[in-house]
Amino acid sequence: MPAPRKPAAPRKPTTRPAAARRSKPVVSAPERDEPEFLDADLDASFEDEVSGAPLRKASANAGERLQKLLAQCGLGGRREMEEWIAAGRVQVNGEPAVLGQRVLPGDRVKVNGRLVNLHGATRAPQVLLYHKPEGEIVSRSDPAGRPNVFTNLPRVRGGKWIAVGRLDFNTSGLLLFTTSGALANALMHPRHEMIREYAVRVLGPMDDEAKDQLKKGVELEDGPAALKSIEDAGGEGANQWYRVTITEGRNREVRRLFEAVGRTVSRLIRVRYGPFLLPPRLKRGQSLLVEDADVEKLVKSLGADAEGPSRNVGQKVRGARPGGRPAPRGRAQARSQGKGAAPKRSSPRPAAKKPL
């Protein structure tokens, strides 16, 4: 007869550390209509809240100025962005923006209620040459319904074309566009004295006295103005051509200068703006994209005025705290995420002592 089985001993309850018993918090996925760079910042703020680590406060000089950042995104010029901010069309983290406000990585910026992708501000700028024909206005909106130059431009992804200066409705020739508000402002600023060269057809010849007067300067409604140079360029009969240069971009400046000395301009063509010449093969209504290497040289020649925001604005940084540096991560965690090992220590580990 088999021996009776002994009852099984009761299992002892296993004790686990508090950290192991704690359930891992579940973070809901961000909405799909938000830019990718916001994902890491939302997760980082949640980690700080769980761990009890205090949020780092940004210094007054941290981040980039809002109007500069919006202009660099290609939404318009810096002055136009300042007008938008003053009109209450811009919000930062759900609050109305103010002039001079600085934006940090992870801040949510909305224009007219729509989220702005700040990552576009760090893209390399593009420059476009356009041969403007007569009869086009340099504006996206016109109460008279006249054709505008923007309808002939190629589409640009993640931004829009910003006109560098303007040409009159009846003026043709070279017109520059760029996707960078900072670069557009630098090209137009009087401090850089960008040469504008025009081919001018005048009714009737001009004597030396009139030419000298134009070079010395005349008084216009908005202040004194002068030509930097004027040269004969031929012509027949009453139509005489001249090549002139100026370093300003005031409204109808060339036409008003000739009118001040009693001459009427019958045709005006811009053939140069700064380092760019109107290519002979570029027909009216056509555009030409400038090579990236030439754009980079142009930005360097103009200095800090043409440079956009720093590359850390709007970038996706995993584990970054808003207003602070990226949170550290372990080497094992980095390998498991496929990101590569974390940076090595700046100071070498102490050498192990040899056994005696």
Interval 120-150: pLDDT, tens:
555 678 999 999 999 999 998 888 889 999 9
Give the pLDDT mean for 171-198.
90
Question: Which positions are catalytic?
Answer: 168
**pLDDT tens per residue across span 254-295:** 999 999 999 999 999 999 999 999 999 999 999 999 999 999
Share of the chain above pLDDT 70, in %: 65
Mean pLDDT over all residues of the chain?
74
pLDDT (0 to 100) of residue 74: 66
Between 25 and 309, the higher pLDDT residue? 309
| Integer Cα distance of 304 and 190 in angstroms | 15
Mean pLDDT score, 17-34: 41
Q: Is the pLDDT of residue 246 over 90?
A: yes
Average pLDDT over residues 57-73: 66
Predicted local distance difference test score (pLDDT) of residue 61? 58
Alpha-carbon distance of 64 to 62, in angstroms, equals 7
Q: What is the pLDDT of residue 210?
A: 92
pLDDT for the residue 46: 30
Residue 23 above 80 pLDDT? no
Mean per-residue pLDDT for 210-217? 93
Region of poorest pLDDT, from 163-172, 228-237, 299-308, 336-345 = 336-345
Non-local CB neighbours of 302 within 8 Å, separated by 6+ positions = 183, 186, 187, 192
Q: Which amino acid is at 223?
A: G
